């Protein structure tokens, strides 16, 4: 009993000393963690996730934007089936105010079809994306060149997508959309160049909570397609796309 009574006060004293000494350390660690979180918030790095389902199948996108002075460095990856693409570009804000915002995003991309082990299969360049917001009006434009023949992968082509939306509420925007595909050259000498696709229709964007957008495009394909032997196939009719985008 005397032995236990002798060590009990010393043990309590040691615990008190360690507790008091650890308070500044805990405070310092918490303060440093707070500074680290604040630095991450102030870094300005933004990101996004997107999934599309259309005639190509279900496609997955991830992207991010890194501030670099008055511009931004943007990158993304795009995956559909065994094909994957990496894009790198420069975001150029031309106008940035409360009432008007205009940004140009030129990019270059390289694509790989991992079904074969022959290296790159496509050069996606140049690309130009345009984003315009003016009050309740939003305009977005895609222009992309695909050079596939140097890799014996597919025909060379040009693709454009343009839509103009009007926000009727904070969470609903509607407007027209047009998509155009042009065949520039082919792997075969008899490849027919020119207009290969023209889809005209309408789009609606729905907001689903903070930073979530669901897009629905319904259009009419006006151009027939061709099979592998060059025979015309009547594939005109209604088509479209479902899109989900999450930003952070």
Domain with 52, as residue range(s), is: 46-247
Stretch 29-39: mean pLDDT, rounded? 51
Do 34 and 61 fall within a single domain?
no
Do 53 and 32 fall within a single domain?
no
Task: Report the pLDDT value the prediction gives residue 225, as an integer from 0 to 100.
Answer: 75
Number of Cα atoms under 13 Å in the Cβ half of residue 170:
5
DSSP one-letter code for 192: P
Task: Report the pLDDT value the prediction gives residue 34, as an integer from 0 to 100.
Answer: 53
Q: Which of 43, 58, 74 is the last residue of a domain?
A: 43
Q: Which residue has the higher pLDDT, 181 or 25?
A: 181
Do 16 and 88 fall within a single domain?
no
**Average pLDDT value for the chain:** 86
Do 38 and 107 fall within a single domain?
no
Place of tokens 């994306």: 129
DSSP one-letter code for 169: S
Do 68 and 13 fall within a single domain?
no
Do 122 and 239 fall within a single domain?
yes
CA–CA separation, 165 and 180 (whole Å):
18
Q: How many domains does the chain have?
A: 2
Task: Report the pLDDT value the prediction gives residue 232, as an integer from 0 to 100.
Answer: 67
CA–CA separation, 234 and 178 (whole Å):
20
Do 51 and 172 fall within a single domain?
yes
- For residues 163-195, one letter each, b for 16 or more C-beta atoms within 10 angstroms of the residue's C-beta and e for the rest, the string is bbbebeeeeebebebebbbbbbebeeeeeeeee
Do 200 and 109 fall within a single domain?
yes
pTM of the model: 0.81
3-state secondary structure of 70: coil
- Using alpha carbons only, what angle is made at residue 99 by residues 171 and 42, rounded to the nearest 5 degrees? 80
Between strands 71-80 and 156-167, the pairing is unpaired
Do 141 and 157 fall within a single domain?
yes
């Amino acid at each position: 009993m005397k032995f236990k009574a002798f060590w009990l006060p010393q043990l309590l004293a040691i615990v008190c000393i360690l507790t008091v000494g650890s308070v500044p350390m805990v405070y310092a660690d918490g303060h440093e963690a707070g500074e680290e979180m604040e630095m991450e918030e102030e870094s300005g790095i933004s990101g996004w996730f997107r999934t599309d389902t259309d005639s190509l199948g279900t496609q997955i996108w991830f992207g991010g934007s890194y501030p670099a002075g008055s511009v931004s460095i943007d990158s993304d990856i795009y995956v559909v089936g065994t094909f994957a693409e990496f894009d790198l570009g420069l975001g150029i804000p031309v106008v940035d105010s409360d009432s008007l915002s205009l940004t140009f995003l030129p990019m270059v991309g390289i694509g790989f079809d991992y079904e074969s082990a022959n290296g790159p299969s496509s050069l996606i360049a140049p690309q130009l994306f345009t984003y315009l917001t003016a009050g309740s009006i939003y305009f977005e434009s895609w222009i992309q060149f695909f050079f596939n023949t140097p890799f014996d992968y597919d025909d060379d082509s040009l693709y454009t997508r343009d839509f103009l939306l009007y926000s009727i509420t904070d969470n609903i925007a509607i407007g027209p959309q047009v998509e155009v595909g042009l065949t520039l050259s082919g792997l075969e000498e008899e490849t027919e160049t020119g207009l290969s696709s023209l889809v005209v229709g309408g789009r609606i964007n729905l907001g689903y909570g903070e930073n979530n957008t669901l897009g629905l495009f319904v259009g009419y394909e006006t151009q027939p397609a061709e099979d592998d032997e060059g025979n015309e196939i009547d594939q005109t009719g209604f088509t479209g796309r479902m899109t989900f985008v999450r930003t952070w």
